[in-house]
Amino acid sequence: MDITIDEDIKAQTFIHIVSCSSGRTSVPPAESLVIGYYQNACPDAEAIISRTVNQWFTKDMSLAPAILRLHFHDCSVRGCDASILLNRTRGEMQAPKSKTLRGFDVINDVKANLEKACPKTVSCADILTAAARDATLRLGGPFWEVPMGRKDGTVSIAKETDVVPMGHESVTQLIQFCQARGLNIVDLVVLSGAHTIGRSTCASLQFRLYNFSGTGKPDPSIDWKYLNYLRRKCVYESEYVELDATTPTIFDSVFYTNLQQNKGLLSTDQLLYSDERTQPLVSTLASQPYIFTAQFAVSMVNLGNVQVLTGKYEGEIREHCNLRNPYKHVAAVHNP
């Protein structure tokens, strides 16, 4: 089918794709989330969020891509409900796939500042979603208005993080992951472009460097010069390596050019250029950077809309992002 990337993109470019979903069934209708949601109840909410996260980024710029990753992990499990922030025994935060996540203190600090200004008003889920936007902007990416009105979830289960992609999946598995969340192939390829910044542990690369698919040999799709670099860089599994081999500190579309040169760090990234369903998108985003910038904003809004809690009897507004509100604990005693 033919779809446009976005009506506002200057070129009105059409990309031929097979959508992984006939619709965005998990994305709420427009009225469920609202731009300016806190305009009356907490008019300075977004200013407080932006000011606080930028103070943290000034001290440690690596926290910006960390916040983007934290937001993605949160929305991947139970939707964007801040369940990743709950510090509970056998919760998402304690899962093996979450051990390298960072940025929790940033969100907690934002929440503390908002509680001083507007007690019990702004959800942690909205804070994390807006912080991901501000992180993108700080890294040189686009600005977009964040629709708000999410509630915070009260359930967090470590086992449920098994669904989060970790760089070993096939394109089909990634498409199915998207489909379950109401996202399509455009969202998949564009959101993968967040790897234009940030780092990965060398532990996640070992199978590509030395024993791809049990062959005892490296992944043949890796550029040989890049392979040699990665082997030198990843002497220890605990080391980190930049996700973008060319411009790791700049938010740009060079990530897609790297894929064309077989310099994708993660297997899931490189496969986007070898699969016929996603290759045309990679080529277009590599050759027309402004499309990536514009569509990244659109796809981030789509991600932030995944399975949100907005109903009167759904979720809560947590007073502390790491803890459920006290009355929920009481309810759990009477309703196990």
Residues labelled as active-site residues: 73
Confirm or deny that 168 is annotated as ligand binding. no
Nearest-angstrom CA–CA distance, 146 and 206: 38
Nearest-angstrom CA–CA distance, 196 and 242: 9
Which residue carries 């008003």 as its tokens? 121
The two three-digit tokens of residue 202, written as one number: 């060398």
The DSSP-derived string for 165-181 is: --S---HHHHHHHHHTT
DSSP summary character for residue 216: S
Confirm or deny that 252 is annotated as ligand binding. yes
Nearest-angstrom CA–CA distance, 57 and 15: 36
The two three-digit tokens of residue 33, written as one number: 């989330």
Nearest-angstrom CA–CA distance, 107 and 127: 7
Confirm or deny that 215 is annotated as ligand binding. no
Confirm or deny that 92 is annotated as ligand binding. yes
Confirm or deny that 247 is annotated as ligand binding. yes
Closest CA to 307 of 166, 160, 197, 192: 160
First to last CA, the chain: 48
Confirm or deny that 195 is annotated as ligand binding. yes
Confirm or deny that 172 is annotated as ligand binding. no
The two three-digit tokens of residue 89, written as one number: 């025994």
Task: Report the amino acid identity of residue 321.
Answer: C
Confirm or deny that 275 is annotated as ligand binding. no
The two three-digit tokens of residue 101, written as one number: 């996540």
Task: Report the amino acid identity of residue 257.
Answer: T
Confirm or deny that 196 is annotated as ligand binding. yes
Confirm or deny that 79 is annotated as ligand binding. yes
Task: Report the amino acid identity of residue 207.
Answer: F
Confirm or deny that 100 is annotated as ligand binding. no
Residues tagged in the binding site annotation for substrate: 165
Which residue ranges are tagged as binding site for Ca(2+)?
74, 77, 79, 81, 83, 92, 196, 244, 247, 252
